[in-house]
Chain A
Amino acid sequence: SQTIHQWPATLVQPVGSPLSLECTVEGTSNPNLYWYRQAAGRGLQLLFYSVGIGQISSEVPQNLSASRPQDRQFILSSKKLLLSDSGFYLCACGIITIKETQYFGPGTRLLVL
Chain B
Amino acid sequence: QKEVEQDPGPLSVPEGAIVSLNCTYSNSAFQYFMWYRQYSRKGPELLMYTYSSGNKEDGRFTAQVDKSSKYISLFIRDSQPSDSATYLCAMSPLDSNYQLIWGAGTKLIIKP
A residues within 8 Å of B by Cβ?
A: 4, 6, 32, 34, 41-44, 46, 49, 57, 88, 90, 94, 97-107, 109
CB of B75 closer than 8 Å to a CB of A? no
A74 → chain B, closest Cβ, in Å?
14
Known: A94-B97, A101-B34. A44 touches B102 (CB 8 A): yes
Chain B, 4-45, CB within 8 A of any chain A CB: 4, 6, 8, 32, 34, 36, 41-45
Asked whether A104 lies within 8 Å of B102 as measured between CB atoms, the reply is no
Within 8 Å CB of A57, what residues of B?
98
Closest B residue to A46 by CB, please name it. B100
Size class of B's contact patch? 20 to 34
Closest B residue to A100 by CB, please name it. B97
A102 → chain B, closest Cβ, in Å?
6
Q: From DSSP, what is the main secondary structure of chain A's interface residues?
A: strand
Asked whether B104 lies within 8 Å of A99 as measured between CB atoms, the reply is no
Within 8 Å CB of A104, what residues of B?
36, 43-45
CB < 8 Å neighbour of A43 from B42, B51, B98, B102: B102
C-alpha spacing A44/B90, complex, angstroms: 10
CB of B64 closer than 8 Å to a CB of A? no
Chain B, 71-112, CB within 8 A of any chain A CB: 88, 90, 92, 94, 97-98, 100, 102-105
Within 8 Å CB of B6, what residues of A?
43
